[in-house]
A = this chain, B = another copy of it.
C-alpha cells in the first residue's frame, strides 16, 4: 500500500439572508495570502477534534460573528490547483441567517465582512464563485419541496414576509392568493393569534413555524 498523501481539509460557508427584498451572501475580505484583500467565503482549516459541521460553524463565527440559523452540507471541492498553497479539499456548507438586524464583526483571518447582493458579487477567491452558484441552485430547488425558507425569517412573521423571502430567492414575483393557499395547505406554519401593527395599514396576522428545529421535506 502506498503512503497516502495528506491534504489540507477546510470548510467554507455560503450563508444567505434576505434583506430589503434582496438575497445576499456573506463574504469576507481575506487578510492573508493567498488572495489577500480578495473577497471570499468565510471558512478555514479543520481542527483535530471537531466534526465538519462544527468546523464550518466555528470558522463562520470567528471570521464574521454571524451565528447561522441553519447549516447543511452542500458539496466538496478538491480539484488539484484550486489552492496555490497546495492540495486542499473544502467541504462547503449552505447556511441561512434569519432577517434580524445584527452587527458583523470581522476578525481572525478576515479583514472585513459584508453582505453582498447575489446579483452583484465581487470577484471571488479560489473556486468560491462556483460554490455560491451551487448553493443558490440548491437553495432555489429546496424552496419548492421543504420548509427551508422559514430559516430566513424571525420566529414570528406575517405571511407577506415569507412571500418576500421566496420571491427574493426565486427572483420573480408570486401570486399572493395562490401563495397563501399553498403555504396554509401545507401546514408548515401555524397562526400565533397575534397581529403585527406596522405602518399605516391593516395589521398582519403573525405565524410561526409548525415545528421548531430543522426543516420539513414534502412529497
Contact = CB atoms under 8 A, between A and B. Distances in A.
Most buried by B among A1, A9, A109: A9
A109 B78 contact: no
A17 to B, nearest CB: 25
A210 interface: no
A5 interface: yes
Contacts of A78: 9, 46, 51-52, 91
Nearest to A89: B9
A73 B89 CA distance: 14
Copies of this chain per assembly: 2
Given A6-B8, A9-B7, A87-B48, A32 B1 contact: yes
A9 B79 CA distance: 13
A47 B144 CA distance: 39
A144 B217 CA distance: 15
A35 interface: no
Main SS of the interface on chain A?
Answer: loop
A20 interface: no
A50 interface: yes
Interface in A203-219: 219
Contacts of A185: none
A50 B7 CA distance: 12
A48 B79 contact: no
Contacts of A160: none
14 contacts: A2-B45, A4-B46, A6-B8, A7-B7, A7-B8, A7-B46, A9-B9, A50-B80, A51-B78, A75-B75, A76-B76, A78-B91, A89-B91, A144-B219
Interface of A: 1-2, 4-10, 32, 45-52, 73, 75-80, 87, 89, 91, 109, 144, 219
